Chains A and B, each alone.
Chain A
Amino acid sequence: MDRFFRESSAVAEVELIKLVRDPTELLSRAVQPVLWLVVFGQVLAHVHGIYTGEVGYLAFITPGILAQSVLFSAIFYGIAVIWERDLGVVHKLLVSPARRSSLVFGKAVSAGFRGVVQAVVIYLVALVMHIPVRHELRAIVGVLALVLLGSGLFSTFSLIIACIVKTRERFMGIGQLLTMPLFFASNAIYPLELMPGWLRIVAQVNPLTYLVDALRALMIVGGESVRGYPVDFAVLLAVFGVLLMVAVRLYPTLVE
């Protein structure tokens, strides 16, 4: 356990150093969620086109947009892994005696840093736009835990895809193909009840739906979780665990 922690924190620490040294990517990633809230959210809140109960539309989609930016910044992380493979970095990591599980987990943790930055940006936007977010410590800690979990989950998913497709060109295609459906087939910007039956079924097996559901309860004043956030947490943890196991098996095949 000690060794697992040392190895994965070594991998994650390196990513953190690089992010701090060159935060341009982080900042450019922050533009999109701001647009969604300021433009899309405000316009739709005006027309009252989507019924969201007691909670206003802007407050309703704020956790959805956070989940979206967690998804978007994590999913293209497979590109970085393919880049590392082309440079021989993956070879070097795999020749070292570090456990495969620590390498994969360390990468998942480092995706979490990006997610946390997105969360900070969205809290700031919410503050400026007077969106009623919960400010209790417990709620914020819960949101950050969810953001870490979601980032780890989607980045590991992305790693698995990278291991299967192995080239940047194919990954770009598949990455685009996956992110939009994952986002729209979820409860991020409209409630599940508005969806046609088939789409609701898709949304219910989409991990993003569980992330949004839990975030909604923990982030928004008066926000409600459909399933209860402990259930959401459990589902996300289980999916993350399964994805980690698959990724640990596939990661070494990247260099074959």
Chain B
Amino acid sequence: MNTTIDSDRLAVKTTELTRRFGDLTAVDHVDLEIPSGGIFGLLGSNGAGKSTVIKMLTTLLAPTSGTAEVGGFDIIKDPAKIRGRIGYVPQLLSADGALTGYENLLLSAKLYGLPRPERSARIGEALTLMGLTDSARKLVKTYSGGMIRRLELAQAMLHRPAILFLDEPTMGLDPVARHAVWDRLQDLRRDYGMTVLITTHDMEEAEALCDELAIMHTGRIAVVGKPAELRTRLGASATMDDVFAHYAGGGISEGGDFRDAVQARRTARRLS
């Protein structure tokens, strides 16, 4: 393959990426190219395969067949190299409530091998950027949902990853907190040149935040394009919801198994 030059510019490139769970093909021969330096949205109903793609790209799950390159490294051959170069914010609010914001960040700094002299400067910078300096010494269980999300962003950016993965980053947040997260993601892209990959099923988020989108349906990529492009393709008055309904097969509320619902509810509970 003569793609070496191209793949240097690509943050992620998947090649027939496939994952089966028993009889279910969660991700089915996905070919996806995500350019560096943008915010890319992976959309789809619950159960469309978004989270499984993210798990494979973040080296949590091995593909059944096919492969992918993340930051120029193969997910099967070089998972350890990828781990040092990506940041990850899981769907659930996973910062440790029994620790302070600072302690959460310090743990990340150590696990990511930041040299001791740099740790406090990096932590301070991340706290400032996320607007959490005043709350750094408070226990995370006293934080609001939006603050926990921003803390997790701070944790994920501490080691200056080339690519940031976020699974449903604003699910369950109120509109103000949601916009704050969007603004911070745009800062990270602009100031640090990070590539941001998010999954969402929120069309407003997709349109407001993403440079480019891929919509998944039953494990396959249904369409890839810029939000405005996708809308005009369907007609002058088409909204993003129409685009989603068209490509993701049916209404937004469809799909999703019991486990997704339970998880979503659990997140919502933690936020309230």
Contacts and interface: CB of A to CB of B under 8 A. Distances in A.
B20 to A, nearest CB: 12
A96 B111 contact: yes
Contact of B94 (A14, A22, A91, A98): A91
B55 A255 contact: yes
B113 A17 contact: no
B55 to A, nearest CB: 7
A45 interface: no
Contacts of A94: 59-60
B60 A91 contact: yes
Interface stretch (B78-86, B124-132, B242-250): B78-86
Contact of B99 (A11, A14, A95): A14
A95 B60 contact: yes
A110 to B, nearest CB: 13
B90 interface: yes
Given A94-B60, A97-B83, A21 B98 contact: yes
Interface string A1-12: 001001100110
A16 to B, nearest CB: 11
A44 to B, nearest CB: 40
B60 A17 contact: no
B179 to A, nearest CB: 23
Interface residues of A, number: 25
Interface string B18-40: 00000000000000000000000
B112 A92 contact: no
A178 interface: no
A6 B113 CA distance: 8
Contact of A92 (B59, B94, B99): B94
B91 interface: yes
Interface in B96-113: 96, 98-99, 103, 106-108, 110-113
Given A87-B92, A255-B61, A96 B103 contact: no
B113 A3 contact: yes
Interface in B137-156: 155
B15 to A, nearest CB: 21
B88 A91 contact: yes
Contacts of B111: 7, 10-11, 93, 96-98
A14 B96 contact: yes
Contacts of B107: 10-11, 14
Interface of A: 3, 6-7, 10-11, 14, 17-18, 21-22, 86-89, 91-98, 252, 255-256
14 contacts: A7-B111, A14-B107, A87-B92, A87-B93, A88-B92, A88-B93, A92-B155, A94-B59, A95-B59, A95-B86, A96-B108, A96-B111, A97-B111, A256-B61
